[in-house]
Each structure stands twice: as structure tokens, then as C-alpha cells.
Amino acid sequence: MSFAQHYQETLEELARVCASCGRDPREVKVIAVSKTVDAPAISAAIAAGAHDFGENRPDVLAAKVAQLPEQTWHFIGTVQSRKIPEIVACASLCTRFAREHFAKFDQAAERLGKVQDILLEVNVSGEESKSGFTPDEAIHALQLAETFPHIAVRGLMTMAPQGNLDVARECFEGLAALRDALRSQLPSEQGARFNELSMGMSEDWREAVCAGATMVRIGRALFSDSFESVQA
């Protein structure tokens, strides 16, 4: 199957899932995780209607942005301090970083004359193998981030344990509850901006949508059988 077929089927299924849980599919953005395909493959995805892409390596992100600058690029990889200027120069939205990165993100964004949108990664499941703030740490991280004028926390993200969709659903519902609790503590203007929930991937995005996801990150289910992998 081509990307266009995969993408259309995903959008149709998204509409059905949203209907089943009383949501508008326009509330959910599909992020095509393009980290394993090259720029020509992404061009084909753009032709099929995709415009938000996720990358996890700063050098690859920069190369793809140089070729396809009109698209919206999400940095979804682990952040290394020395790569922050490169990430900020290319990404519309960043996730998966530590508290000590805030100042460097702020400085890099200030140099570029932009405000960098970020999501706080939260380890809702408590798995030791997963990164992110604990739910208790998230409020302090949010308060700290708000002291930097060139970064803006737009919401939360998480990755659920694999292999059990019921557990994944509980994890996603926990993140949604945390977002709502944190949002209620913010001034109205900040609260209006703090509305994103990035959760759910190829195997569990349906559970995430029913739990309130505003962004789902789908790679394998969109790009498999469509294009050759070009990187690990």
C-alpha cells in the first residue's frame, strides 16, 4: 500500500474512533513520524495531505527542513544540550527534555527571535525505562518553564507501556487528568495555551484519542510497505 492509502485509511478510522467517543476528528492532529524515510518519501506524504512530521535526530531534522521548509516539524527525540540551537532553529514543537535544558532553549530561541513551543514529557506509567517528569514533578517543571520568556509550554506528552491496551488507556487517561489539573492552576491566558496532549502511537493511538489526545504520533502504520527505511 502507498502512504496515501495508509493515510486516508488512518483518517477514516480516526473519524470513526472520534465518533465512538463523542469527539470531533478536527481536534486530533496526526503527526507522521518520518524518522525512517527520506525527503522524497516525505514529499509523497505531503502530496497525500500530511503536513506535520516527527523527527528524532537534529542533523536529519535540519536536512529535511532545508529541503521542505514549509512543513511543520516536531522534534520528538532525546535532547542533547549541544544540539539545542540546531533543534530550535528547525522545530515548531519540541518534547523529551530535562529541566536543565530550559535555559538553553530560552537562549537559543531568543537569538532567533522566536518563542519555542514545548511539551513536558511525563512518565505516567512509572516505568524505569521511560524518561520524563513524574506527575508530581510536572507542576514544578511547568512553573519553572513559565519563568523563561522564549519558551511556551503548550501541554504534555507521554509514552504508554507496550503490549496491553487497557494499561495504555489508563496511562493516557492519567495524562489527561494531569493536564486538566495543571491547567486549572494557570491564569486564563496561559491555560488557554496549555491544551495539547501528545500521546498514542501506531499500536495504541485509538485508546489515546478516546482519552483526549490532541496529537497522535504515527510512523510504522503510515510508512510501512510504502518506502525503504533510510536510517536506524
The residues that bridge with 120 in the sheet, in sequence order, are 156
The model's pLDDT over 218-229, given as tens digits with 9 standing for 90+, comes to 998 999 765 444
Least confident of 29-43, 61-75, 123-137: 123-137
What is the model's pLDDT at position 224?
Answer: 79
Phi, psi of 187 (to 5 degrees): -55, 155
What is the model's pLDDT at position 225?
Answer: 67
CA distance between the termini of the chain = 22
CB 85 within 8 A of CB 122: no
pLDDT reading at 9 higher than 80: yes
What is the model's pLDDT at position 229?
Answer: 40
Higher-scoring residue by pLDDT: 96, 177: 177
DSSP E strand stretches across 72-129: 72-75, 93-94, 116-121
> Taking residues 94-98, what's their average pLDDT?
88
**Is the pTM of the predicted complex or chain greater than 0.85?**
yes
The residues that bridge with 57 in the sheet, in sequence order, are none
> Taking residues 32-52, what's their average pLDDT?
95
Q: What is the DSSP string of 11-72?
A: HHHHHHHHHHTT--GGG-EEEEE-TTS-HHHHHHHHHTT--EEEE--HHHHHHHHHH-TTSE
Mean pLDDT for the chain? 93
What is the model's pLDDT at position 128?
Answer: 78
pLDDT reading at 167 higher than 50: yes
What is the grid cell recorded at 193?
Answer: 495555551
Length of the chain: 232
What percent of the chain shows pLDDT beyond 70? 97
Alpha-carbon distance of 134 to 99, in angstroms, equals: 12
